[in-house]
Chains A and B, each alone.
Chain A
Amino acid sequence: MKRHLFKIAAFFLIVVLLDLATGMVFSRLTGCARGGDTARNEYICNKTSEDILVFGSSRAIHHYNPLIIADSLGLTCYNCGQDGNGAILNYGRYHLISQRYHPKVVIYDVMPLYDLLTGEDNRKFLGWLRPYYDRPGIDSVFAWVDPMEKYKMMSRMYRYNSRFLQILSDCVRPAQEDALKGFQPIDGTLDTLKINPEVIESPRLDSLKISCLKRMIDETDATRFVFVVSPYWYGMDDRLIAPLRDLCRQRGILLLDFSNDPKYVHNDDYFIDGVHLNARGADEFTRDLVKRLKQVCAEVVQDAMSPRLAAISFSKRG
C-alpha cells in the first residue's frame, strides 16, 4: 500500500513540476505575443499610457473608434473593450492600469447584462485576469467572485486555461495588428437573423458588478468617468439602466444614453446585428459621442493645468 501511495504521490509531483514549468513558459509567451488578443490584453494591463481609455464589452470594442476620438479631442485614446465581458474584468484591468498611471478620462460603455444585472456565471469574467493573479489587488477580485478560485489559481497552468492555443498562435502568427488602437470595426450589413432582442425577464441587480463599478469610480479622483450606453438596433428598456442613473447622479458623473436615439434605432445601415454597430455605424456614433464629450474633455484639459491634478498626474507617472 505504502509503495503504491508513494507512486501516486510521485505522479502528482510530476504534474506539479510540469504545471510550474508550463506556467512559466506561457507567462513568457504572453509577454512575447506579437499581436492578437494576447498582446492586446498585455498592452492594456501593462503598457497603456493614453489619456482616454474606453472600457466595456464587445459593444465597446466594436463601437468606439479611438482615432476619431484622438483627432477630435486632441488627447490620445485606446479602446480596452473586451468581448463578452463587463464590470468585473474592467475593474480588474483598471486596477492594474491605475497602479501605473491615471488616465484623464475613462469612457465606460455600459451593457446592463454584463455591468449591472445578474446573468451568467461571474467566473467567466475572470479569464483575462488570470495571468495577473499575483499582482496586488487582483486576488481580491477572484475572491469576490468565488472564494474557491484561490485554490484553482494555485495551478500555474490553469491561469492559461482555454487560452494556450491563442497565446501560441499570437506568438507565431498573430491574427490582427493593433493599428486601430484596440478598436475592432465589423464590416458588413445587418443580418436580420441576428436581431436577437436581449429580453431580460425580471432583471435582478448584481451587487458584485455594481460594486466593481463603484470601486472603479472611487479608485482615484484623477480620472474623469463618463458612462455611455451606445445604440441598440431595437432600442433598450430605460429601466435597465436606472441603477446606473442613480449612481451617476450620486457621484456627479456624466451618463450619455444613445440606446434609444432615433438616429440609430431600427436603422439597418448602421448595424451588423441587434446589439453591434457596423464600421460605418461605429464611426458615426463615435463622431456623435465626441460632440457631446468635447465639453467634458475641455474641462479635463483645463483641470490638468491646475496644480493639484498636475501634481497627481506627475507623481503617478513617475
Chain B
Amino acid sequence: MVYNSINFIVLFPLIFLLYYVIPARYGKARNLFLLVVSYLLYMQWKPVYALMLMGVTVVTYWAALRLNGTRRSRAVVTAGVLLALLPLVLFKYFNFINDSLSEALSLAGLHFQLPGLNWAVPIGISFFTFQALGYLWDVYYKRQEAERDFLTYALFVSFFPSILSGPINKASLVIPQLKALRPQYDRAKVTEGLRLILWGMFMKVVVADRVALYVDTVLPNYMYYSGISCFVASVCYTIQIYADFAGYSLMAIGVGKTLGFELTENFRRPYFAVSVTDFWHRWHISLSTWLKDYIYIPMGGSRCSRLRNYWNIFVTFLVSGVWHGANWTFIVWGCMHGICQIVEKMLNQQRCRYGMAGKTVKVIITFLVVNFAWIFFRMPTLGDACGVIARIFDLSHAHAVFMPTATDSALMALGVGMLFAKDFLDEFFPCRCRLLDNRRAVVRWSAAVVTLVLILLCGVFSADQFIYAKF
C-alpha cells in the first residue's frame, strides 16, 4: 500500500477500526484478518504475484519444519534457500545476468543470448524474500524455533505495513508478538504510531517529493546543466532518498504500532554519521543487520585474519549492492561503501576521537563521500554516473546555478530546514525541544496540527511511489 495515496487515507482507518472490533481474546481471528488484508493489499498491484509471495512462504515454512530432527539439515537449508531465491533471481536478475553474460561472451567472439524476460518485478520481492530467508537461517543456526502455525508464519512474511519496502523484520521480533495475546487497545502505542505516520508523511511529501522536483529536472539532463547545479542536485538526491525511505519506514513502523506491533527501527539520523561504517549503523538498519547476521558473520566476520576481514566486508557490501538492483551502478555503489569501510578500518577511523570540531569535519566528509556514492545509485548507467561526476568537476560554467522558482526554493528550504532541525535536536539534544511528543498536551497538539497543515499546504501530492519500492 502506498502510504501517500488516497487509498491509504481511506483504507487504513477502515482496517484499523475493523481490527479493533475483533476482541483481543480471539488472537487467531485478528491474525487471520491481518493476513487476509495483507494479501488483498498485495493483490491490488498484480494479483497473480501473490502466488510468488505464497510460494516463498510455503517453501521456507516447509524447509524450517524439515530442519527439525533431520541429519541432512545443510541439504534442506540449501534447497530451501535456493527455491526461495528462485523467483527473486528470475524476476530481478535474469535479464541482467543474461545481458552481462552475452556481453562477456561477445568479447570472446561468441554470440549467444537467451531471450529476455519482459515481466515486471513483483513489488517488495527483495524484502519478503530476505525476511523469509533470515527466518530459515535462524532456524538452521538454532537461534529460532521453527514455527508450526502456518497462519502465524504467513502473516510474518506478508505483514502489510512492511512488505513493500521493509523494514526487514527478524522472526524473533515479530513472531512472538503474533503469537502472544495482544492487549485490546494500547493507547500509548496507537498515539506513538500516529505520530510516526504524521512525521513520515511530512518527510515523504514535504521534503522528499519537493527536492525530487529539482533532482528530476537536473540529473536526467545533466549534460545541459553546470557543475554546481549537478552538485546541488546530487545533494538534493542525498536528502531525497533519506526523506523518502526513512519517511516510508516511519510510516510502516507507525502503522505497525497502531495495530499493536513493534517493528525493527530502520534509520537513526544517518547523515550525522562520523564515518561510512557509522553510516551503516544508522542507514537501513534492518538490511545492514541482515547482511551482518547472514553474510558477514557466517563468512568469519572480524574473528579472522585482517585480510580475510577486509574481504568479508567487501563481499557483504557487494551483496548489498546486488540486493538493491540488477545494474552495475548498484554494484559499484556497494563496492564503494565496502572499500570506504575497509579504508576506515585500516586507518582506524571508524569512530571519532577529535572533539566537536573534529566530529563536525568527519560528519561533513562522510556526508560528501556518501553523497558521491549516491550518484551511482541514482543514475541509470555507469556512463551517466561518470558523466555527472565529470560535470561536477567541470568549472567552465561555475556561475550558472539552476534555480527553481522563488516559491519552490522557499518550500524546499522550509522542508529541508525542518527535517535538519529535528534530526539535529534528536541527535545532540534528545531530551530537549521535543514537540510532537512533548509532555504538555497543548504543545503536542499544536505541533501535530501545524505538521498536518504544512503537509496540506507544502506537500507534493502526486502519490509518487517510494524509491525503495522498486527494490
Contact = CB atoms under 8 A, between A and B. Distances in A.
Partners in one complex: yes
Interface of A: 1, 4, 8, 11, 14-15, 18-19, 22, 121, 123-124, 148, 151-152, 155, 157-158, 160-166, 169, 175, 191, 193-196
Contact of B185 (A4, A22, A123): A4
B411 interface: yes
A158 B456 contact: yes
Given A121-B462, A193-B400, A163 B453 contact: no
Given A14-B449, A18-B449, A195-B224, A166 B407 contact: yes
A157 B407 contact: no
Interface residues on B, range: 35 or more
Given A14-B449, A165-B411, A193-B226, A158 B461 contact: yes
A-B interface, 3 closest residue pairs, ranked by CB to CB distance from nearest: A196-B224, A1-B185, A157-B456
B264 interface: no
B interface secondary structure, majority: helix
Given A193-B397, A193-B400, A196-B224, A161 B457 contact: yes
Nearest to A146: B463
Given A4-B190, A148-B6, A191-B400, A162 B445 contact: no
Contact of A22 (B9, B191, B221, B453): B453
B410 interface: yes
9 contacts: A4-B185, A151-B6, A157-B453, A161-B457, A162-B407, A165-B407, A193-B226, A193-B400, A196-B224
A169 B409 CA distance: 14
A162 B194 contact: no
Given A8-B194, A193-B224, A196-B224, A19 B456 contact: yes
Contacts of A169: 406
B457 A160 contact: yes
B453 A15 contact: yes
Contacts of B471: none
Nearest to A1: B185
B352 interface: no
Contacts of A157: 453, 456-457
Contacts of A195: 224
A164 B410 CA distance: 11
A163 B185 CA distance: 41
B418 to A, nearest CB: 15
A1 B461 contact: no
Given A4-B187, A11-B445, A14-B449, A155 B462 contact: no
